[in-house]
């Protein structure tokens, strides 16, 4: 219940920011073009807060936080006096109307740049995309990818972390192949071609790289002890740093995961450890301690195993200065725009399933999870949504900004506007299509969360 409330709150904040910036884009350019703005609303329905500014515009918050609008004076809707005709929207030149409508999506792209600029200025804690284990007979295995190699790029997308790898691979969905540039453990740069003709990716159950057989690098953990905590059960039993655990109560153990599992299940018990110490096997009776956990009482030993060293600068803070952050924010925004356009195209061609469409529940969950992970992760999610909102609004559907821009482009070419009758028919068709897409996204949400 608490998670649901947090997700809803995060969703309202996220959508409020996106809608406010989108509508402010329309509002700001409209005012610069001399158009009278009657209402600036974030949210639909009955106003839960409103005030009238000195400019005569009513600013308000609607009770339904699923969008917003800017209502401008328009002769097609309002009774406009001759004196106010020059400040009505429909009386403006096609260039001004085009600019006013285009300003909404552009504001979303500007917001994405600004948000990512802030994110890179704060710094993003991240890890390099170093490859761990490769699943047998997977696409990655057939491409001869090597454990310990660092992914540098996926096609044209720079891969400085796993999120960038995900972004690059998302662009490659539906393609026959993708080229991955790697730095091998030996330090040389190589390229590997991944054959994607048989690639099947389910975003509900796995990551893009996981579906290719690539696992995130995890340091190898050995059965040798590097440290024994003072006054711990291990210390009291006589275990020492440098001991290699061979078996426990006669059961062979060849992985630290197995040792940890046995210890966790043996709280308060006495176990016989066979260890190798100074090349000699010997037995040590160990009284396992106890400690509280979320799952109840578990066993406790008090040792640290030897682990494989991490690659150089494996964990780093991805941070830039003032101008570097701005450039990186713009570059990242462009990458997101390109990927969004490609994904829409692949949805239309059937290369990407419509089951991948996300509705408000998925967005709410994403907002809540990213906000819980930290402010910089919320900023990253906000930028992604802002770009998607901008791109979607540019689709050539009459009820969206892109549809209006198509009509204005035709008007510019013909020298006269598209007839009201044709526009009305197009708006009806566009409305049905948008409603169908929304219904599909919501049904995907219901299926995703119900099952």
Give me the domain span that covers residue 179. 125-217+308-318
Instruction: Answer whether residue 73 is part of any domain.
Output: no
DSSP E strand stretches across 263-404: 270-277, 280-287, 289-293, 296-300, 303-307, 315-318
Mean pLDDT of 43-50: 87
* Residue 447: pLDDT band with limits 50, 70, 90: low
Contact 168, 343 (CB under 8 A): no
Identify the CA nearest to 156 among candidates 174, 169, 143.
169
Shared domain check, 330 and 185 = no
232 has pLDDT over 90: yes
Ranges of beta strands (E only) in 95-243 are: 124-127, 131-134, 150-154, 157-158, 177-183, 189-195, 214-216, 221-228
188 & 246 share domain: no
Q: pLDDT-based confidence at 96, cuts 50/70/90?
A: very high
What pLDDT is attached to residue 348?
76
Exposed/middle/buried for 128, CB within 10 Å: 0-12, 13-18, 19+? buried
Distance CA 320, CA 326 (A): 9
**Same-domain status, 298 and 370:** no
Determine, yes or no, domain membership for 87.
Answer: no
Shared domain for 274 and 167, answered yes or no, is no
What number is the average pLDDT over the span 217-223?
89
In the residue annotation, 290 being an active-site residue is answered as no
**Average of per-residue pLDDT values in the chain:** 87
The pLDDT of 123-147, averaged and rounded, is 89
Give pLDDT, residue 58: 92
Q: Is there a contact between 272 and 248 (Cβ–Cβ < 8 Å)?
A: yes
Position 13 in a domain: no
Tally of domains in the chain: 3
Q: Dihedral, CA atoms, 405, 409, 411, 414, nearest 10 degrees? A: -160
Does residue 42 lie within any of the structural domains?
Answer: no
Q: What is the DSSP letter of 129?
A: -
What CATH number should be reported for the domain holding residue 253? 2.30.42.10
Contact between 148 and 185 (Cβ < 8 Å): yes
Residue 68 domain-assigned (yes or no) = no
pLDDT tens sequence across 282-328? 999 999 999 887 778 899 999 999 998 888 788 888 889 999 999 99
Marked catalytic residue, from 23, 150, 335, 365: 23
- Is the distance from CB of 168 to CB of 181 less than 8 angstroms? no
How is 27-70 classified by DSSP, letter by letter? HHHHHHTTPPEEEEEEEEEEEEEEEE-TTSPEEEEEEEEEEEEE
Q: 370 with 451, same domain?
A: yes
Say what the pTM is.
Answer: 0.78
Q: Are residues 365 and 448 in the same domain?
A: yes
Q: pLDDT tens digits for 353-387?
A: 666 666 566 666 666 667 677 888 889 889 988 99
pLDDT given at position 176: 87
Q: Which residue has the tokens 């990927």?
A: 339
As a whole number of angstroms, the distance between CA 320 and CA 87 comes to: 45
In this structure, is residue 418 part of a structural domain? yes
Per-residue pLDDT, averaged over 80-90, amounts to: 86
DSSP 8-state code for residue 279:
T
Residue 10 pLDDT > 90: no
Phi, psi of 242 (to 5 degrees): 100, -15
Residues 188 and 313 in one domain: yes
Within-domain flag for 274:
yes
- If we measure between CA atoms, which residue out of 357, 396, 402, 431 comes closest to residue 105? 402
- Asked if the model's pLDDT at residue 182 lies above 90, the reply is yes
Specify the pLDDT at position 370. 72
The verdict on residue 280 lying in a domain is: yes
User: What percent of the chain is predicted at pLDDT more than 70?
Assistant: 92
Mark whether 207 and 254 lie in a shared domain: no
Q: Where is pLDDT greater, at 241 or 441? A: 241
Residue 241 near residue 269 (C-beta atoms within 8 A): no
Hey, which residues does 291 pair with through a beta bridge?
298
Looking at residue 354, what is its pLDDT? Answer: 63
260 vs 11, 248, 266, 354, CA distance in Å? 40, 11, 10, 43
Question: With 60 as the cut, is the pLDDT of residue 451 above it?
Answer: no
d(CA 338, CA 62): 33
Q: Are 374 and 405 part of one and the same domain?
A: yes
What dihedral do alpha carbons 326, 331, 333, 338 form, nearest 10°? 170
Tokens at residue 326, please?
């701005």
Same domain? For 208 and 230 the reply is no
Tell me, yes or no, whether 141 and 105 share the same domain: no
Query: Does residue 112 sit in the same domain as residue 149?
Result: no
Query: pLDDT-derived band of residue 78, with 50, 70 and 90 as boundaries?
Result: confident
């Amino acid at each position: 219940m608490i998670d649901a409330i947090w997700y809803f709150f995060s969703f309202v904040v996220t959508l409020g920011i996106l809608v406010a910036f989108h509508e402010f884009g329309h509002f700001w350019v409209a005012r610069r073009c001399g158009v009278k703005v009657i209402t600036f609303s974030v949210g639909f329905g009955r106003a839960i807060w409103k005030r009238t500014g000195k400019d005569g515009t009513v600013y308000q918050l609607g009770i339904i936080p699923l969008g917003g609008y800017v209502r401008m004076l328009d002769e097609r809707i309002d009774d406009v006096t001759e004196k106010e005709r020059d400040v009505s929207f429909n009386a403006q030149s096609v260039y001004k109307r085009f600019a006013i409508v285009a300003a909404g999506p552009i504001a979303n792209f500007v917001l994405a740049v600004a948000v990512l600029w802030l994110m890179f200025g704060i710094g993003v804690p991240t890890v390099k995309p170093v490859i761990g284990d490769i699943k047998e007979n997977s696409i990655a295995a057939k491409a001869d990818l090597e454990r310990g190699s660092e992914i540098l790029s996926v096609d044209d997308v720079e891969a400085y972390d796993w999120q960038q790898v995900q972004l690059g691979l998302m662009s490659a969905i539906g393609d026959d192949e993708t080229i991955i540039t790697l730095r091998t453990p030996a330090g040389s740069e190589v390229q590997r071609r991944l054959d994607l003709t048989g690639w099947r990716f389910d975003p509900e159950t796995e990551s893009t790289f996981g579906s290719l057989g690539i696992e995130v690098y995890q340091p190898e953990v050995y059965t040798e002890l590097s440290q024994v905590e003072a006054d711990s059960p291990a210390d009291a039993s006589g275990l020492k740093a440098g001991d290699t655990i061979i078996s426990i109560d006669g059961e062979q153990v060849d992985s630290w995961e197995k040792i940890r599992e046995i210890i966790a299940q043996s709280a308060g018990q006495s176990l016989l450890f066979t260890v190798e110490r100074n090349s000699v096997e010997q037995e040590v009776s160990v009284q396992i301690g106890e400690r509280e956990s979320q799952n109840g009482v578990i066993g406790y030993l008090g040792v640290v195993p030897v682990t494989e060293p991490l690659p150089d600068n494996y964990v780093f803070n991805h941070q830039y200065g003032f101008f570097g952050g701005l450039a990186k924010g713009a570059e990242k925004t462009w990458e997101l725009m390109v990927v969004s356009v490609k994904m829409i195209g692949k949805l239309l061609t059937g290369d990407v399933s419509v089951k991948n469409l996300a509705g408000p529940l998925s967005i709410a969950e994403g907002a809540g999870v990213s906000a819980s992970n930290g402010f910089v992760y919320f900023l990253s999610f906000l930028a992604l949504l802002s770009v998607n909102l901008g791109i979607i609004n540019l689709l050539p559907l009459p009820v969206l900004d892109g549809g209006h821009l198509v009509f204005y482009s035709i008007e510019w070419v013909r020298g006269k506007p598209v007839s009201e009758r044709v526009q009305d028919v197009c708006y009806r068709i566009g409305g049905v299509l948008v409603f169908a897409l929304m219904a599909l996204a919501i049904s995907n949400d219901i299926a995703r969360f119900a099952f």
